[in-house]
Amino acid sequence: MIIKLFDSELKVMEVLWEYGDTTAKRIAEILKEQVGWSKTTTYTVIKKCIEKGAIERKDPNYICRPLITKEQVQEFETSELINKMYDGAADQLVASLLDSRKLSSQEIERLKKLINDLE
């Protein structure tokens, strides 16, 4: 399932991924504390997530359950970035990342292992 989520929708999803099934009221409390959102703002964003199929709502108590995983969203967003900025060339994304920051020896070893596992 491919669903494009906006930053605000990702904030709601992050709460659900961290806490699991959660009431809308509790999501609103968490996001008020984290980012200062009003209850109305949170409920509006939850509604958008439900309409997109990212969240399922159950009664009683308006319990929200994520229908997509964080990994699915990460995979979609990464593919979007590679297609949009690097013409679909994943190696160019990796080269750009490697060029822009100094990697630790541990990070280099993990990358080598990932590449070896792909071969």
- CATH number for 7-70 (one of 1.10.10.1800, 3.90.226.10, 1.10.10.10, 2.60.40.10): it is 1.10.10.10
Please report the pLDDT score of residue 1 as a whole number.
61
List Cβ neighbours of 51 (8 Å cut-off, separation of 6 or more): none
pTM over 0.85: no
Longest dimension (CA), the chain: 52
Residue range 79-116, pLDDT digits in tens: 888 888 888 888 887 778 777 777 788 988 888 888 88
Map out the domains of the chain as residue ranges. Answer: 7-70
Residue range 26-84, pLDDT digits in tens: 999 999 999 999 999 999 999 999 999 999 999 888 999 999 999 999 998 888 888 88
Check pLDDT > 80 for residue 2. no
